[in-house]
Amino acid sequence: MFSRSSLVAKSLSRHVAAHQRRFASTKTIKEALGEVIPAKQARLRQFKAEHGQAVLGEVKVEHVIGGMRGLKAMLWESSVLDPMEASLIGIRFHGLTIPDCQKVLPAAPGGKEIIAESMLWLLLTGKVPTEAETRQLSRELAERGELPDYIVQLLDSLPTTLHPMTQLGMAVAALNKESAFAAAYERGIKKSEYWTYALEDSLNLLARLPAIAARIFRNVYAPEKPIASLDKDLDLVGNYVNMLGYGDNQDLTEYLRLYIAIHGDHEGGNASAHTAHLVGSTLSDPYLAYSAALFALAGPLHGLANQEVLRWQLNMQKEIGDNVSHDDIKEFLWRTLKSGQVVPGYGHGVLRNPDPRFIALQQFCETRPELLKDPVIQLVKKTYDVAPAVLKEHGKTKNPYPNVDAASGCVLYHYGLTQFKYYTVIFGVSRALGAITQLVWARALGLPIERPKSLSMDAMESIIKSS
């Protein structure tokens, strides 16, 4: 039997050898991070020294009892949401909007859409990677992507009736067995080295997510189909789609490249990102931290919403037909609201304009005539024409505009991925981009354990009376 330390050492040496075969005139993601971390560490020290007592806002009772909504209390470097900025501008990744990213981030060979590797490089380093650096990272992830035998055995032993998100979280947590960070911490390392081992785990985690997610799909929905082997010449999503069994569908591959890249990071306050940050702050390794994030993502108020949106759209289509008018949709919306239900896919915890990711996915559809002809996709577009005005009139929604879930599932459905319960697994593969970025940076910046102060109603009343 090999010890965990020896397995980690073998893994590290294998990846070092792989790096030695990298493309000429490129650096690895670890080398790129090593260049930018010292400056960011110095900036944080200076910022804390100069502005540590500055006030960013005030805490109100509604923050305490309202889920901390809008409370400015978390450092998250890679992306920022502006509630009031116009569509396609409301989210920025290191200052770049989604259209900016589409212009400057490398695509896959022969493709046009952003890929996960180029977005990951931007999120981690704050810099746009070169074509060669992107290809190098794709190859590195492919070389890390094989699943250990015990993960294969675990997934194959699970009942097919177990929700795919539960299976995904279990498999990611089980990868903790070979955590480089956990092994290094156990033997004793300097805090300044934490980020290097967190990065090692994070890259292995991201690299293996497609194989885990594809095996879950195969086991639950297509047990008779073999799973394609990893192709070292494909990007992360290219391999994922290939292992799902849709590798011959280039349009689906391009859609998932865009979806996963722009879905990967969405500020730190959302439930899954915040969960990863919170669990990681205890110095749990990235596998444990991200498995916790996945279970947060599995909630119907978070990632599971994407399956609910499509189900609601299909129910609408079934009830009022394909050739619907705006008045038909308006009547259906009011029936939904008057029955006490919400309109799935509308509203956002931060944004007060249409979600820029929704707009980007809509624009993807507009470039493909076959998508524009799809009745469900037409229905999504017509609903967008009508719903904001209805929700404003209804008066109970702070943001009457669509979020990304309003569009994401209908394209998957068109391309033959009709298994609703699986949609959040794809979301889980995507959201790892932002979560692992912050886990690495939290260790690089030495961020402490997260520990807010809680209050009882009596304590709050006492504070209010005394003030």
Name the CATH superfamily for 74-317+423-448: Citrate Synthase, domain 1 (1.10.580.10)
pLDDT, tens digit, 9 for 90 and up, residues 99-119: 999 999 999 999 999 999 999
DSSP code per residue over 370-381: HHHT-HHHHHHH
Residue 93: phi and psi, rounded to 5, are -105, 105
- Cβ contact 373:385 at 8 Å: no
Query: What is the C-alpha to C-alpha distance for residues 457 and 461, in angstroms, rounded to an integer?
Result: 6
How far is the C-alpha of 56 from the C-alpha of 115, rounded, in Å?
Answer: 35
Question: ∠ at Cα 267 (271, 75), nearest 5°?
Answer: 95
> Residue 21 pLDDT more than 50?
no
3-state DSSP percent of the chain in helix, strand and coil, to 5? 65, 0, 35
Per-domain residue ranges of the chain: 74-317+423-448, 318-414
Q: What is the pLDDT of residue 8?
A: 45
The 10s digit of each residue's pLDDT in 218-261 is 999 999 899 999 999 999 999 999 999 999 999 999 999 999 99
Give the pLDDT confidence score for residue 233 in this predicted structure. 95
What span, in angstroms and rounded, lies between the C-alpha atoms of 60 and 40? 32
pLDDT value for 404: 86
Going from the C-alpha of 282 to that of each of 8, 196, 204, 397, 401, the distances in angstroms are 22, 17, 20, 36, 37
Q: Which two tokens stand for residue 384?
A: 């967008």
Topology annotation, domain 318-414: Cytochrome p450-Terp; domain 2 (1.10.230)
Catalytically annotated residues? 302, 348, 405
Question: What does the pLDDT look like over 405-421, one tens digit per residue?
Answer: 888 889 999 999 999 89
Q: How far apart are CA 352 and CA 397, in angstroms?
A: 10
Instruction: Give residue 324's pLDDT.
Output: 86
- The model's pTM: 0.90
Count CB-CB contacts under 10 A for residue 308.
18
